[in-house]
Amino acid sequence: NAGVTQTPKFRVLKTGQSMTLLCAQDMNHEYMYWYRQDPGMGLRLIHYSVGEGTTAKGEVPDGYNVSRLKKQNFLLGLESAAPSQTSVYFCASRTSGGTYEQYFGPGTRLTVT
């Protein structure tokens, strides 16, 4: 049982390049989330999904797209990377019941030059 995994762990992009971050969970969770973490700002929600085939915008969605084609995977795409997207990205998931806690992946550190 790996929990929540993220690929890749590190990446350096040039401005204008594109990439996709992959999040996978093996806990059969309905809900999945993408956050970014910047110094002094805590975690801010980018996009989320309440089930397979659904996505919704969070607090800071501009410049990102997501897809949830399979229940266990949640992809975060950057179509044209900008230096302002340099950050650490965390994926999280939660079950549909329970007490609302989310389980986090180890993070992806992205640098855009």
Partner 1 sequence: GDSVTQMEGPVTLSEEAFLTINCTYTATGYPSLFWYVQYPGEGLQLLLKATKADDKGSNKGFEATYRKKTTSFHLEKGSVQVSDSAVYFCALSLTDSSYKLIFGSGTRLLVRP
Could you give the CA distance from residue 5 to residue 21 in angstroms, rounded to a whole number? 11
Could you give the CA distance from residue 22 to residue 34 in angstroms, rounded to a whole number? 10
Identify the three-state secondary structure at position 78.
strand
Q: Does position 31 bind partner 1 by CB under 8 A?
A: yes
Side-chain half-sphere CA neighbours of 88 within 13 A: 13
The answer to whether 87 and 18 are in contact (CB under 8 A) is no
Q: Does position 19 bind partner 1 by CB under 8 A?
A: no
Q: Does position 105 bind partner 1 by CB under 8 A?
A: yes
User: Among the candidate windows 17-25, 60-68, 72-80, 92-100, which touches partner 1 by CB under 8 A?
Assistant: 92-100
Q: Does position 60 bind partner 1 by CB under 8 A?
A: no
Q: Does position 107 bind partner 1 by CB under 8 A?
A: yes
Among 21, 33, 55, 66, binds partner 1 (CB under 8 A): 33
Looking at beta carbons only, is 14 or 98 nearer to partner 1? 98
Classify the C-alpha dihedral 72-25-2-106 as positive or negative. positive
Which residues would be at the binding site for partner 1 (CB under 8 A)?
4, 31, 33, 40-45, 48, 50, 56, 58, 90, 92, 94, 99-107
